[in-house]
A and B are shown apart, each in its own frame.
Chain A
């Protein structure tokens, strides 16, 4: 089985936010929640880099470990998903996540959090694949249809890569060798306990 990952090639990302828009549209993500976002470092200065970030679907996912009601599970492909039925909106997964993936709708005054929502690698949730019930809670299930996440598919510069971790690591290495530079696979050491030697 393939172990799927995300890789954002920061040297190609032009901050167009197509990935953000594609994700929001595909899954009809509610207002205020952003499963994917683009963060720009050194904005306007030489050496500016943009990185598209959602859930990295980590190895030993800290969100999963820290959840008080154990509502997370990791699929055979390595996709980290959770059950909104079991989630109690405590917010711990956000504190544990190194990438700020979990988001919560505001359901009341003060800090009341609703059910956590995050990038699902377009793999839905515990409900049966490609059913309206699954779509209402988790959005589209592209993986069940044999497709890759839509954010990577829509990327205008093919900076955001998604798929088998080994294959996208190879693609990135090839790019870096060909063009002669690369700022690295952002987040890989924290997420997967391994970097990519370039």
Chain B
């Protein structure tokens, strides 16, 4: 397309977008009622609270103050948002997070720690380089801090306030609020890095279906083939990306209140932020479980960067083959690939 047509296209998109936004923002003014003689009938045209609320969720009017937000006379939806936050969200959080912990506890009690079937070989293979590990831990530690400070807002007054008292709890919550807002920056950076580094290894492939069909490595008698990341890990990646984007966008709308949203927008941003965050926390709890307690040989991948050869054979066989063709084991005699002894 030529420059002029590009420009025209952009202009028409902007005009369309502003028209839609104006429509959304403008409150429909109640229609003027006319009398039998055709002149406006003031008594019949009187603004009526119920009629106005039927036409629009908020009643807005003219004010003497410069603050646009004060135009809103009434927004009864506030009570519904309160119900969501105090009732629905508390139940959702309790059921999802405690449910996940209970499910993992059951998994541990029934399956136990997933051992390396052939035992450790003693030989190591490089799985994650330092930059990958940095990106992961930057995101992970940011996430834990954000998760805890966020849960403090929703559950703090139920769980912590009775224990430490109102003054200490308010001080702690004030600190938690600022921590949450500032640590969000490192989370964004970490998430961007993770996506940039690992996107190509997480593209869904045909082998992922086989992995799922074979029980994903949880059924000892079956063999689940896997590349660098198996289907379960890919699911976590894509979930983290989607949920991450959702909490980041909604979160920054909350940090910059009313910059581009009205009160309904703020309520929606908070709902999205809270619901997605709760689900995200549950998924990460499961991710932490499988990477630490749940599976022998998993944690060292992210802690040191090197994994046991037998672990790699059992859980990421396709990746191991490719890795060994790139850097044969024999040249390394137990050391991590390429890195000089330190």
A positions within 8 Å CB-CB of B: 10, 17, 20, 32, 34, 37-43, 45-51, 53, 62, 65-71, 85-92, 94-100, 110-111, 113, 181, 183-184, 186-187, 189-190
Contacts and interface: CB of A to CB of B under 8 A. Distances in A.
A65 B86 contact: yes
5 contacts: A32-B67, A62-B79, A62-B82, A110-B256, A111-B257
Given A48-B47, A86-B166, A98-B74, A41 B82 contact: no
Contact of A66 (B42, B85, B255): B85
Contact of B270 (A41, A51, A95, A186): A95
Given A34-B70, A68-B156, A96-B82, A90 B62 contact: no
Given A42-B47, A62-B78, A88-B170, A100 B72 contact: yes
Interface of B: 29-30, 32-33, 40-50, 52, 59-65, 67, 69-79, 81-82, 85-86, 152-154, 156-157, 161, 166-167, 169-170, 173-174, 177, 254-259, 263, 266-267, 270
Q: Kindly list the 6 A-B residue pairs having the minimum CB-CB distance in the complex, ordered from nearest.
A: A47-B45, A62-B82, A46-B42, A41-B47, A39-B61, A39-B73
Contacts of B41: 46
A98 B79 CA distance: 7
B29 A85 contact: no
Contacts of A113: 257
A42 B45 contact: yes
Contact of A37 (B32, B70, B173, B255): B70
A121 to B, nearest CB: 19
Contacts of B263: 94-95, 100
B162 to A, nearest CB: 10
Contacts of B45: 42, 45-47
Contacts of B52: 41
B46 A71 contact: no
B30 A42 contact: yes
A39 B71 contact: yes
A47 B32 contact: yes
B139 to A, nearest CB: 23
Contact of B62 (A10, A43, A86): A43
A98 to B, nearest CB: 4
Pick from A38, A41, A67 the residue with the most CB of B within 10 Å. Answer: A41
Given A34-B65, A37-B63, A47-B45, A88 B173 contact: yes
A39 B153 CA distance: 33
Given A46-B41, A100-B72, A190 B79 contact: yes
A69 B169 contact: yes
A92 B177 CA distance: 13
Contacts of B33: 47
Contacts of B177: 88-90
Given A69-B157, A184-B48, A187-B74, A40 B173 contact: no
A98 B70 contact: no
A186 B319 CA distance: 68
Contacts of B70: 34, 37, 39, 100
A1 B6 CA distance: 71
A53 B161 contact: no
A150 to B, nearest CB: 18
Pick from A87, A89, A100 the residue with the most CB of B within 10 Å. Answer: A100
A198 B124 CA distance: 84
A69 B166 CA distance: 7
Contacts of A43: 61-62
A190 B32 contact: no
A41 B257 contact: no
